[in-house]
Amino acid sequence: MDINFWVNSLLVTLMLFAIVMLFAIMWWVIVFVLYAPSFRLRKLRKLIREDNMEFNEILAEKSRLHIEKANTQLQYDKLVIKKAEVDQQIKENEKLLEKTKLQLRAETDSLNMLNEFLNTPAGKKWLAVYSSKLIAEETLEQESNK
């Protein structure tokens, strides 16, 4: 066999190897340059979607807490209004109590003065006259009813 045959065989083998390597390189270029970014993009979209779901859950929780806070504030405001009404009622009752105490004191003073007057000779005379007048009026009334 001659040397040209071996050189030609070697060249053909190297050419076939170069073509296979070229196809392999093209395959990896296609996979990494064209497919990989779309894969990464899908992965990123999935991560973004998950983050958005977490963010929406956080927003929902925040909204729920705001609503709960508003309800609590409303209950507090109702309690403050109720307390103000009760305080107003207490003030009115205290005024009424003071007024009643003053009336009771005035009536007690009047009764004490009447008692002192009735213990005097003029008071005893007036009581006797007034009693006889009342007895007479009752007698007349009973007779007119019969």
Give pLDDT tens digits along the chain (146 positions).
Answer: 677 888 889 999 999 999 999 999 998 888 887 777 777 778 888 999 999 999 999 999 999 999 999 999 999 999 999 999 999 999 999 999 999 999 999 999 999 998 888 889 888 888 888 888 888 888 888 888 87
Give me the sign of the Cα torsion angle 93, 98, 102, 104. Answer: positive
Residue type at 4? Answer: N
**pTM score, whole prediction:** 0.47
The count of structural domains within the chain is 1
Containing structural domain, residue 30:
3-145
| Alpha-carbon gap, residue 20 to 22, rounded angstroms | 5
CA atoms within 13 A on the CB side of 26: 6
| Alpha-carbon gap, residue 38 to 45, rounded angstroms | 10
Best CA proximity match to 121, nearest among 110, 133, 129, 111: 129
